[in-house]
C-alpha cells in the first residue's frame, strides 16, 4: 500500500464524534480527508476547518461540513502533513505553499497530528528548502535579508510567474542544508520585515504517524 495513504488512514482512528477538526493540506492528508468524507456519509458528526483553498474545495466535494475560522476559538485536533520531521518532532511545512493558514490553525489546535511517509523523517531539519511566505512588495530586499541567516532564498515560480499563496503572497524557498536551532531561526525569520510566516513548526506537533514498507509507526512528543 502507498505509504502516505497508510499513515493518513491510520490517523482517522483519532477522530471522535463531535470534534472540530483542522484539515491539513497536501498529498498525504488527502487520504485522510477522503476517508473522513466516507465516515461523514455514514453519519459521523464532525466539523472541519480547512487550511487551504485546495482542502476547502476537496472537503466541500466530499460533503464534509465546514466552519469559518472567524467562528472557531479552539480546534480539538488538526491532522496535517509535513515536508520534514526531526527527531524532536520539529517540522518543515509549506512545500505546497499552505504554511501560513496551516500554522494559524495549528496555533489554536489542542493536538496536532502529522502524517508522513518515512522519507520525511530526518535527524536534523534543513535538507528540504524552508518555505518562507513574504509580501510581494520589496520581496528582493526581503530575500537579501533572509540570506543573512545563512541560506540561499529562491523565489518559487510556476509556468505563469511567481507562485501566489492563498493569501496573495510569494514564497521564498530557503536552502539551508542544516538548521541547527529551529526555535531561534523561527523567531528571527518572523522578525524580518516582509516575512508573513515561515514553515518551521516548533513545539506544535504532538504525534507523528509514519507510513513505511513495514507498516505504520507512531512518534509522540515526550512530556
Ligand atoms: O503547504 C503544504 C503543506 O505544508 C503540506 O502539508 C506539506 O507540504 C506536505 O505535503 P505532502 O503530503 O503532499 O508531501
Architecture of domain 130-196: 2-Layer Sandwich (3.30)
The sign one gets for the Cα dihedral 203, 156, 54, 120 is negative
Residue 72, Cβ neighbours under 10 Å: how many? Answer: 14
Fold of 3-123+202-215: Rossmann fold (3.40.50)
Structure confidence at residue 221 (pLDDT): 84
**53-101 pLDDT tens trace:** 999 999 999 999 999 999 999 999 999 999 999 999 999 999 999 999 9
- Per-residue pLDDT of 94-136, as tens digits, reads 999 999 999 999 999 999 999 999 999 999 999 999 999 999 9
**Count of CB atoms within 10 A of residue 183's CB?**
12
Which of 95, 104, 209 is the best mutation target for the ligand 1 pocket, counting ligand atoms within 8 Å of the beta carbon and taking the most? 95
- Closest Cα to atom 2 of ligand 1: 96
Per DSSP, the residues of 116-185 read: EEGGGB-SSS-SSPEEEEE-STTHHHHHHHHHTTT-EEEE-EETTEE---TTS-EEEEEE-S--S-HHHH
Give the C-alpha separation, 182 to 190, whole Å: 12
Q: Answer yes or no: is the ipTM higher than 0.85.
A: yes
**With the C-alpha atoms ordered 113, 119, 120, 124, is the resulting torsion angle positive or negative?**
positive
- Domain positions in the chain: 3-123+202-215, 130-196
pLDDT at 223: 60
Task: Retrieve residue 141's grid coordinates.
Answer: 530586499
Mean pLDDT of the chain: 97
**In terms of pTM, does the model score above 0.95?**
yes
Cα–Cα distances in Å, from 48 out to 31, 53, 131, 185, 196? 15, 13, 25, 31, 25
- Residue 103 annotated as binding? no
Model pLDDT for residues 164-185, shown as the tens digit of each residue: 999 999 999 999 999 999 999 9
80 is in an annotated binding site: yes
Amino acid at each position: 500500500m502507498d505509504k502516505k495513504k497508510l499513515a493518513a488512514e491510520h490517523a482517522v482512528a483519532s477522530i471522535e464524534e463531535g470534534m472540530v477538526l483542522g484539515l491539513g493540506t497536501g498529498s498525504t492528508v488527502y487520504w485522510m480527508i477522503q476517508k473522513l468524507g466516507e465516515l461523514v456519509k455514514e453519519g459521523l458528526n464532525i466539523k472541519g476547518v480547512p487550511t487551504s483553498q485546495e482542502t476547502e474545495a476537496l472537503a466541500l466535494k466530499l460533503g464534509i461540513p465546514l466552519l469559518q475560522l472567524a467562528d472557531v476559538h479552539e480546534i480539538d485536533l488538526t491532522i496535517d502533513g509535513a515536508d520534514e520531521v526531526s527527531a524532536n518532532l520539529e517540522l518543515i511545512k509549506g512545500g505546497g505553499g499552505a504554511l501560513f493558514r496551516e500554522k494559524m490553525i495549528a496555533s489554536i489546535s489542542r493536538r496536532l497530528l502529522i502524517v508522513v511517509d518515512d522519507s520525511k523523517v530526518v535527524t536534523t531539519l534543513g535538507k528540504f528548502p524552508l518555505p518562507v511566505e513574504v509580501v510581494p512588495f520589496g520581496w528582493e530586499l526581503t530575500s537579501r535579508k533572509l540570506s543573512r541567516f545563512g541560506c540561499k532564498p529562491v523565489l518559487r515560480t510556476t509556468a505563469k510567474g511567481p507562485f501566489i499563496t492563498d493569501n496573495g503572497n510569494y514564497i521564498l524557498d530557503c536552502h539551508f542544508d542544516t538548521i541547527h536551532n529551529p526555535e531561534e531561526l523561527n523567531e528571527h525569520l518572523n522578525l524580518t520585515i516582509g516575512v508573513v510566516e515561515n514553515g518551521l513548526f516548533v513545539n506544535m506537533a504532538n504525534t507523528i504517524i509514519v507510513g513505511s514498507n513495514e507498516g505504520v509507526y507512531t512518534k509522540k512528543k515526550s512530556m
